[in-house]
Chain A
């Protein structure tokens, strides 16, 4: 492959302003390149990030699958099952899951807990408009993967079901 530019003769003549512009463009590109090399796979430096997505995925065949679910219980006894990761279209999936996990974190002080519960309840209410909810439960569910062609999960019987926590909905108003 020949790395010369066949259009070089046709290139627009460059004025001093063009030269300054080119220097600015190359400076920005150079700084970005140095930035990429510096940040590595750290994504907390967004928007200066590289693309390390899914680098560690698929190392082995899944033996079990876990999912964080919410059970919203209505006044008429009806139970609504919600996937924690799908609570909001705006928040990334695992951010929604982290919000749910944190709400039921034992380390929260009472006022933080009340606030977190009220805000989670508001998110669930907006996902279930018109439903008179009385209790919210968070469940960590795990299913073993059954060998097969293709492998499957027995959805009706999770291998493990851990209640992360629950709260009643009366008086769960956000503090701010």
Chain B
């Protein structure tokens, strides 16, 4: 067997390994993703782009043939279409079609947003990779109106506990891309910056950012003020950050390491937000894919939902009601601010305040993962075996 064949076989085995509750958790993730996207989308007003002067239009590769900023009406229509598709995605109606719409419209809006001289990297997974792989996957197979309609037609249903790789492979593809992209971050910092050679780089960066906030009318964060006086601490933080980015790909080889690195990734983004005001909240949409939503649902929500008596309406009436709700939400999205306010609980849960919840949760998960990992390593060291690929938790 040649090296290429062996690599191919390893990749196949890695992609097709079973995962507990695969069918149920991916269906529930679809709902979580849709809500998360709508919530984050609520802070943006893409029509601003259409009101921007032609002279500042700097199209990137994808839209370089467009002669000008799209008009406000086009941007408004795209916003409405995206909201319409996201509502249908949450409910699970025509999932493959609406996933394609979410992918295309989301990418189009972001391409326009990045055509004014600055490209951000935080929305990459939420807007592009997640819908791209889900378009090829089966996240509409459970917890969707499509499943109810199919069950009515054919009498077939899919068990939420089904552990087949056919449902969960997008999670592995996303993990692979996260590993590659984090590695690229470490590579660029090492080769084009001083992150590897100068231990004061992080300290300098913290100070520049902190004083930049002062110049913009804010105050110097007391944590930055303290950290720049502790060069050994910032040097260790810098080394830890570089090691985290360079070694994230190890999460591909072991589930315990995966949980450990993913929790650490959330802590890493939270630290970036609190110290540098760099908010990568959209990136969290990718990490949410690794939560076993089915287990959480079965434990916390299923008993309550089982008690709910849904009205016994003909299925076509359910479909009609869903379409009307999606349409009304889409039409009111740009016109009635209260629609967006509902999603942020009256402005309370924002892209900034959510970190106050995410950070402690991530710290607890990371500490638990660290203990599990240490216990596992200790056990293996005693028996003489090292952890294996995809070792079950």
Contact = CB atoms under 8 A, between A and B. Distances in A.
Nearest to B106: A47
- Chain A CB count within 10 A is highest, among B51, B55, B169, for B55
Contact of A44 (B11, B61, B208): B61
Interface in B1-53: 8, 10-18, 43-46, 48-49, 51-53
Nearest to A50: B184
A6 B211 contact: no
Nearest to B186: A51
A22 B200 CA distance: 46
- Chain B CB count within 10 A is highest, among A2, A25, A56, for A25
A91 to B, nearest CB: 6
Contacts of B124: 46-47, 49
Interface stretch (A130-138, A146-154, A162-170): A146-154
Given A91-B116, A152-B220, A65 B388 contact: no
B192 A8 contact: no
Contacts of B193: 54-59
Contact of A36 (B110, B180, B225, B386): B180
Given A5-B389, A22-B15, A112-B54, A93 B228 contact: no
Interface string B95-129: 00000000000010011011011111100100111
Contact of B215 (A45, A53, A143): A143
B391 A6 contact: yes
A166 B206 CA distance: 33
Interface size class of B (residues with CB under 8 A): 35 or more
A62 B208 contact: yes
Given A29-B176, A151-B228, A119 B214 contact: no
Contacts of B13: 5, 8, 11
Contacts of A3: 10, 253, 388-389
Contacts of A99: 52-53, 56, 116
Contacts of B228: 150-151
Given A67-B215, A89-B44, A11 B18 contact: yes
- Name the prevailing secondary structure of the B interface residues: helix
Interface in B170-222: 173, 176-177, 180-182, 184-185, 188-189, 192-195, 198, 200-208, 210-212, 214-217, 220
Contact of A90 (B49, B60, B132, B166): B49
Contact of B207 (A28, A45, A62, A83): A62
Contacts of A149: 229
B60 to A, nearest CB: 4
B165 interface: yes
Contacts of B288: none
Given A41-B192, A90-B48, A92-B118, A1 B14 contact: no
Given A8-B13, A92-B113, A93-B118, A67 B212 contact: yes
A79 interface: no
Interface residues of A, number: 81
B149 interface: no
B101 to A, nearest CB: 16
B220 A150 contact: yes
Given A57-B205, A58-B204, A89 B117 contact: no
A12 B388 contact: no
B136 interface: yes
A43 B228 CA distance: 31
B181 A50 contact: yes
A6 B389 contact: yes
Contact of B390 (A5, A32, A58, A141): A5
Nearest to B202: A58
A115 B212 CA distance: 30
B393 to A, nearest CB: 12
B47 to A, nearest CB: 9
B334 interface: no
B118 A94 contact: yes
Given A1-B388, A2-B386, A89-B45, 10 more contacts: A3-B253, A26-B15, A32-B177, A46-B119, A51-B185, A91-B116, A102-B53, A102-B56, A123-B48, A153-B215
Interface of B: 8, 10-18, 43-46, 48-49, 51-56, 58, 60-62, 107, 110-111, 113-114, 116-121, 124, 127-129, 132-133, 136, 164-166, 169, 173, 176-177, 180-182, 184-185, 188-189, 192-195, 198, 200-208, 210-212, 214-217, 220, 224-225, 228-229, 253-254, 385-392
Closest 9 CB pairs of A and B: A58-B205, A50-B184, A58-B204, A116-B53, A58-B201, A95-B116, A51-B185, A52-B188, A67-B215
